[in-house]
Amino acid sequence: MPSLVKSLQAASAALAAIVPLASAVPAGFYPRNVTGPSKPKVILDNDWSTAGFITFLLPLASDWDVLGVVSDTADSWALQTGLHALATLEVGNLSCIPVYKGSDYPLIQTEERFQAWEAVHGVLPWEGVFAAKNLTYEAEGNDPTSGNPDRISRAAFFEGFPNTTFASDTNAANFMVEQVKKYPGEVSIYSGGALTNIALAVRMDPDFAKNAKELVIMGGYIDVNLLQTSGSVMQADLNSDINLIVDPEAAKIALTADFPNITIAGNVANQVQSTQDFLDEVYEVKNVYSELMYNYYGTTFPFWDETAAAIILDPSIVKNSTEFYLDVDVAYASPSYGNIHAYQEALAPPNVRTVNYVTEIDGAKLKSMIKKAVQYPKTCAQL
Ligand SMILES: *[C@@H]1O[C@H](CO)[C@@H](O)[C@H](O)[C@H]1NC(C)=O
Ligand SMILES: *[C@@H]1O[C@H](CO)[C@@H](O)[C@H](O)[C@H]1NC(C)=O
Ligand SMILES: *[C@@H]1O[C@H](CO)[C@@H](O)[C@H](O)[C@H]1NC(C)=O
Ligand SMILES: *[C@@H]1O[C@H](CO)[C@@H](O)[C@H](O)[C@H]1NC(C)=O
Ligand SMILES: *[C@@H]1O[C@H](CO)[C@@H](O)[C@H](O)[C@H]1NC(C)=O
Ligand SMILES: *[C@@H]1O[C@H](CO)[C@@H](O)[C@H](O)[C@H]1NC(C)=O
């Protein structure tokens, strides 16, 4: 199957030199220039949304090769978040980047299990995909939660519903395994959502983690319990770890695997807030992405996923960080189920490893990276 895809891509590469969009080429498989100099490579796994595209514009702006985009179930189901990835790539003529739909379900977590845990330990301010199903809320333009993972809420596609389709040569986890085999030591794995697909890849291939270049994630807050009580519910929301809690077992597998380097953008992801002034500034240059950002990014949330992406692209953005042994609490009976726990070497349990925990970044630099990426996005013709 992969060789069929390759010859299809080679054939369409020849065609593309003459016609920009050959009608014989299936959607999502437009050819890319693979003869150019080798660029740093990244696979982006995220729970994509209408305004989630900055995390793929950033690596493209830094001249990285985005080998592919993977969707996961975290804020909504992997189908809906993957369709957002397809749509937000399409609006910018970036459909040459393949999108793989990730696992529908976390490894163990389910709606019933999650809600039963909340009944014992307290409700999370943001429940992500496991918020109770509410079709009225979905019809108002929100992504689907709970119920059937195949459910699509078209009203949530403010960017347009995609006309392209998921890559179908393999599944998301195996795509990551194959790319790491193809480019050993070169592929950065980015996760801005739950770690389900990455855990599956780790378990499928014992060499996957050690042959990747690194794993960089958004999520993994630490010592924020007081902040969950001493401010508004929104402050608690900004300090709760939905990415890990949606799939605690996957988080433990991924964050204890033998990646050469693991970097966590947890608390630091709250450092740089989206503001109206900044949205206005970016919108001074008008294009499809600056318009979507202006209309849909909002000023409620900080640049969470963008912070983790920027750390991959330019590690000099890190102003302060620490290193510790990390584990993820997978005890269902625990109020910190799905939260990380840090240890010093002398006290760490077996089978955990050290991670880099970023505590401060250069916020002005992050904003200038975002501004450049959104104002002057690349298209497939320039990749
Ligand atoms: C592919 O990239 C190489 C090196 O950057 C360049 O010389 C060549 O013109 C590119 N080919 C196409 C079809 O864009
Ligand atoms: C797909 O095509 C339809 C019809 O042309 C258009 O309305 C829609 O915006 C397109 N979707 C995207 C994501 O561009
Ligand atoms: C995408 O390509 C079409 C057709 O070439 C062009 O009209 C449109 O302006 C491009 N859009 C972007 C965002 O580059
Ligand atoms: C469902 O969503 C609607 C619209 O946002 C809201 O008014 C209603 O209270 C929600 N229902 C439940 C049970 O939360
Ligand atoms: C691991 O990543 C961190 C953060 O980007 C960086 O400071 C460190 O140099 C990296 N270590 C190795 C061994 O690559
Ligand atoms: C880095 O963070 C640690 C812990 O918060 C702090 O003690 C230290 O002063 C910081 N270093 C710099 C250079 O800001």
Q: What is the CATH number of the domain that holds 353?
A: 3.90.245.10
Residue 44's DSSP bridge partners are 69, 190
In a domain, 66, yes or no: yes
Please state the domain count of the chain. Answer: 1
Distance 120 CA to ligand 2 centre (A): 45
- pLDDT at position 383 is 86
CA atoms within 13 A on the CB side of 246: 30
23-to-6, 7, 29, 85, 260 alpha-carbon distances in Å? 17, 16, 11, 22, 42
Ligand 1 site, residue 33, Cβ cutoff 6 A? yes
* Separation CA 130–CA 75 (nearest Å): 8
Ligand 5 site, residue 311, Cβ cutoff 6 A? yes
- pLDDT at position 97 is 97
The two three-digit tokens of residue 65, written as one number: 């090769």
**Minimum-distance ligand to the CA of 18?**
1
CA of 33, closest atom in ligand 1: 1
Distance 322 CA to ligand 6 centre (A): 9
- pLDDT at position 34 is 60
Low-confidence ranges of the chain (pLDDT < 70): 1-37
- DSSP letters, 233-265, are HHHHHHT--HHHHTSHHHHHHHHTS--S-EEEE
In a domain, 158, yes or no: yes
**Helix H or strand E encompassing 66:** strand 65-71
**Minimum-distance ligand to the CA of 313?**
5
* Separation CA 186–CA 40 (nearest Å): 7
In a domain, 220, yes or no: yes
- pLDDT at position 37 is 67
> Is the Cα torsion angle 62, 268, 316, 256 positive or negative in sign?
negative
Distance 286 CA to ligand 2 centre (A): 19
Neighbour-count burial for 203-240, b at 16+ CB within 10 Å, e otherwise: bebeebbebbbbbbbbbbbbebeebbeeeeeebbbbbb
In a domain, 13, yes or no: no
Domain that holds residue 54: 42-272+302-382
Asked if 374 and 296 count as a contact pair (C-beta separation under 8 A), the reply is: no
In a domain, 372, yes or no: yes
Angle between helices 363-375 and 304-313 (to 10 degrees): 90
Q: Which amino acid is at 2?
A: P
In a domain, 154, yes or no: yes
Distance 286 CA to ligand 5 centre (A): 36
Asked if 382 and 70 count as a contact pair (C-beta separation under 8 A), the reply is: no
In a domain, 34, yes or no: no
Ligand 4 site, residue 134, Cβ cutoff 6 A? yes
Among 35, 63, 378, 380, residue to substitute to test ligand 1 (most atoms within 8 Å of Cβ) = 35
Ligand 1 site, residue 382, Cβ cutoff 6 A? no
* Separation CA 78–CA 105 (nearest Å): 8
* Separation CA 188–CA 318 (nearest Å): 17
* Separation CA 31–CA 14 (nearest Å): 9
**Helix H or strand E encompassing 359:** strand 353-361
The two three-digit tokens of residue 57, written as one number: 């514009």
In a domain, 184, yes or no: yes
